[in-house]
Amino acid sequence: MAKTYQLLLVLMILVPVSSEEDTKNFYIVYLGDGPSSKGAAVRKHLSLLSSVKASEHDAKESMVYSYTKSFNAFAAKLSKDEAQMLKELDEVASVFPNRYHKLHTTKSWDFIGFPQTVERNLRLERDIIVGLLDTGITPQSDSFKDDGFGPPPHKWKGTCHHFRNFTGCNRKLVGAKYFKLDGNPDPADILSPIDVDGHGTHTSSTLAGNLVPNANLYGLANGTARGAVPSARIATYKVCWASSGCADMDILAAMDDATSDGVDVISISIGGVTGDFVTDSISVGAFHALKKGIITVASCGNDGPSLGSVSNYSPWLLTVAATGTDRQFRSAVKLGNGKSYSGIGINTFGSKEKLYPIVSGADVAINAESKELARFCYDNTLDPAKVKGRLVYCLLGEFGAESVVKGTGGVGIVLESEQFLDTALIYMAPATMVNMTVGEAVDKYIHSTRSPSAVIYKSHEVKVSAPFVASFSSRGPNAGSQHVLKPDIAAPGVDILAAYTLMNSLTGLKGDTQHSKFTLMSGTSMATPHVAGVAAYVKSFHPTWTPAAIKSAIMTTAKPMSRRVDKDAEFAYGAGQLNPTGAINPGLIYDMDEMTYIQFLCHEGYSGPSIAHLIGKKSVNCSLLLPGFGYDALNYPSMQLNVINSKRQTVGVFKRRVTNVGPPSVYNATIKAPKGVEITVIPNSLVFTRSLQKRCFKVVVKAKPAASTAFTMLSASLVWKSTHHTVRSPIVIYGLQD
Ligand SMILES: *[C@@H]1O[C@H](CO)[C@@H](O)[C@H](O)[C@H]1NC(C)=O
Ligand SMILES: *[C@@H]1O[C@H](CO)[C@@H](O)[C@H](O)[C@H]1NC(C)=O
Ligand SMILES: *[C@@H]1O[C@H](CO)[C@@H](O)[C@H](O)[C@H]1NC(C)=O
Ligand SMILES: *[C@@H]1O[C@H](CO)[C@@H](O)[C@H](O)[C@H]1NC(C)=O
Ligand SMILES: *[C@@H]1O[C@H](CO)[C@@H](O)[C@H](O)[C@H]1NC(C)=O
């Protein structure tokens, strides 16, 4: 498996769904009240567990975690019956099975208008602590040196210890912990916060890495690597493992710790299993973090471009899509007939003008039955005698085909693909990925001459038009709620250069001997720390802002993207491309507190008891909260109307309240709406005479019945404009026309 694809796709393999035959599985049990003293909570957890187990000894053996800091819960190994018995206890609010998530991988900062010289509030930036839940970190990387750093701020309560293969923390990397209690050690895993994969090192350095000049990958992408907030501190919480992916119960433990350790921002490039708002561990952990004023930024997933693939869709998460920048890595293939074609990919192998014989995988199968599979150069399908010393032309089947060809004695490959032609993969042998037109030309050439030959050149950078949403980036609509637009925001996530580990090869593939302190990776995983870094940057100017306020500032200042470039429009890019310098000065914010989200959950039809654990109560009486809601029961910075019945007009009334965080101003509303949609704003002018003044307004969206019977998705927007600020909210109208 190629590393980039490990991020994009192959990590799915790492997700063992808890096996059905297992009589005992891990469960997370939420109690019906908030955290009390640690000792009392732990005793309570044990006594509850003992009540369904044969003995207290049994209970102790099966206990995995007691969560006692930001919420009151425990994780334990239980049978289905035991889980059911616990569920029926008065003290227990809810019981969920533990599941496993997967990981979603410098010039990007300059590309989005965030130069090294940007205005900073260093006094506060130095006190910002960012927490990452990931594969760990490489403490010896230049990106995490602490030259010039003072001691961590007093609010920091986290820890770092001596761990295996871990050189230790410093004033930059202030905390490191690992979470793995499911007891399935894999030889590839080291029980320590050390990053043996590279993913966590990469995301951490994008978020808050130091400035490191002359960073490059075998000379490619040479420049200064840096994070969004180079003066901020990093706390690493390793929750993802080669053996098991990322377990719910470990994620919850890490978020409980991060929340009480004193981080300001949590960045999570993990997804995979999609649960609902109240059972998904990332969603639940983020809610508890939110109550302490901590914003959680999460990746939307790499399951695009299919619609409805977005994950991490809770309204209290800031959900990030990935875009490409104007730099692409290409490597050309030249055929013996002199024709040259451009393909995409990162090929560090310097090729002289030496031509190698080239064959088609389909023609060099090891036997007749393998011929079909050999077209894709699958493992054990190629005849070593016919591949030795040659280049092979293959169709894209599984990632890592170059490793198969190389292992069979071949030189390299020309890969033909219909997909992923916007993202450069790193190869462990000379390789390039071409589109079908070029692939067919190569195939034709191979079959039109007695001794076909070719050469693949080392990659070079080219300029392309950007931004565009990466094909792999997951798309809306939101499977969790028809009322909330997801993803929220788009940020660079294609071919991002950042720090890496020397403990892994560049691709992780068998036979790969390439190592580098910096590497290029792609994925919504890489986009997420860009946004988390900007959230930290905003917080360094506005330390008292709530998570919702920071999110609003980031969304309403985003650079609008184009439906003409990305046909899935807001379902691909949300509010648009991240705009860091705009985000510190949004003019108005759409603020919310935790109770707004509870009201939203009631409005969505969640029962009172099923959401109680979010606020540490036995139950919530939704009927006390329901009256007087608008269409979505939120004060969200974007709006989404679902058209259910196309025969009649659909109307949605969105109620919103904005807070003035700029100077006294008058804001006027500007509406953009497509044909068939009528939008009015009442009132359409807002006057603010002082700072922090709040004003309410209504947005009435009327969608006419559509002629078409297909899936429709229309883009509109509301912009509040004053002389100094532009506050933009996308409005999406979508539905299946019947
Ligand atoms: C981890 O440390 C142990 C003991 O010092 C050493 O033997 C081992 O090679 C290290 N592992 C890696 C992957 O570097
Ligand atoms: C990277 O750029 C720097 C400064 O422009 C230069 O000195 C250095 O040699 C370059 N490194 C590589 C590997 O190209
Ligand atoms: C295929 O790739 C070649 C070389 O990059 C390019 O010129 C051509 O336009 C592409 N064709 C299609 C259909 O994308
Ligand atoms: C919830 O509140 C309503 C309205 O006050 C009340 O009638 C109802 O009994 C309450 N339900 C519960 C379960 O307390
Ligand atoms: C807002 O609208 C009012 C009335 O139409 C107009 O006088 C004012 O100049 C507008 N302000 C801005 C900032 O566009």
Minimal-distance CA residue to ligand 1 atom 1: 165
Q: Tell me the three state secondary structure of residue 720.
A: strand
Q: Is the pLDDT of residue 563 over 60?
A: yes
pLDDT for the residue 626: 63
Minimal-distance CA residue to ligand 5 atom 10: 668
Q: Is 623 in the pocket of ligand 4 (CB under 6 A)?
A: yes
Judged on CB neighbours under 10 Å (0-12, 13-18, 19+), 596 is middle
Ligand 1: list residues with CB < 6 Å.
164-165, 503
Catalytic residue among 70, 104, 134, 522: 134
Ligand 5 nearest atom to the CA of residue 668, by list position? 1
Q: Tell me the three state secondary structure of residue 583.
A: helix
Q: What band does 22 get if pLDDT is binned at 50, 70 and 90?
A: very low
pLDDT for the residue 1: 21
pLDDT for the residue 106: 53
CA-CA distance, 469 to 42, in Å (whole number)? 47
Residues 258 and 237: beta-carbon distance below 8 Å? yes
pLDDT for the residue 102: 74
Catalytic residue among 199, 483, 603, 725: 199
* 3-class SS string, 51-94: CCCCCHHHHHHHEEEEECCCCCEEEEEEEHHHHHHHHHCCCEEE
Q: What are φ and ψ of residue 461, in 5° steps?
A: -90, 140
Most confident of 47-61, 506-520, 536-550, 617-631: 536-550
Residues 242 and 199: beta-carbon distance below 8 Å? no
Q: What band does 243 get if pLDDT is binned at 50, 70 and 90?
A: confident
Minimal-distance CA residue to ligand 5 atom 1: 668
Considering the chain, what percentage of its residues have pLDDT values greater than 90? 78
pLDDT for the residue 104: 61
pLDDT for the residue 710: 65
Name 260's Cβ contacts closer than 8 Å, sequence gap at least 6: 69, 70, 157, 292
Q: What is the pLDDT of residues 492-525, one digit of tens each?
A: 999 999 999 999 999 988 899 999 999 999 999 9
| 525 in catalytic set | yes
pLDDT for the residue 17: 32
Please confirm whether the linkage preceding 664 is cis (ω < 30° from 0): no
- Mean pLDDT computed over every residue of the chain: 91
- Provide mean pLDDT across the span 293-300: 97
Closest ligand to the CA of 724: 5
- Provide mean pLDDT across the span 587-604: 95
- Provide mean pLDDT across the span 135-140: 97
CA-CA distance, 267 to 302, in Å (whole number)? 16
Ligand 5 nearest atom to the CA of residue 667, by list position? 13
Q: What is the pLDDT of residues 74-83, one digit of tens each?
A: 999 999 999 9
Tell how far the Cα of 105 is from the centroid of ligand 1, in angstroms: 25
Most confident of 51-65, 199-213, 702-716: 199-213
Closest ligand to the CA of 688: 5
CA-CA distance, 591 to 593, in Å (whole number)? 7
Considering the chain, what percentage of its residues have pLDDT values greater than 70? 93
| 134 in catalytic set | yes
Q: What are φ and ψ of residue 610, in 5° steps?
A: -75, -15
Q: Helices 547-556 and 524-541: crossing angle, nearest 10°? A: 110
Q: What band does 667 get if pLDDT is binned at 50, 70 and 90?
A: very high
Q: What band does 118 get if pLDDT is binned at 50, 70 and 90?
A: confident
- Provide mean pLDDT across the span 399-415: 95
Which residue in 660, 675, 666, 685 sits closest to 716, CA to CA?
Answer: 675
Q: What band does 101 get if pLDDT is binned at 50, 70 and 90?
A: confident
- Provide mean pLDDT across the span 79-99: 91
Closest ligand to the CA of 621: 4
Q: Is the pLDDT of residue 463 over 50?
A: yes
pLDDT for the residue 271: 83
CA-CA distance, 322 to 107, in Å (whole number)? 15
Give the gyration radius of the chain's Cα atoms: 26
Tell how far the Cα of 560 is from the centroid of ligand 3, in angstroms: 28
Ligand 2: list residues with CB < 6 Å.
214, 216, 219, 222
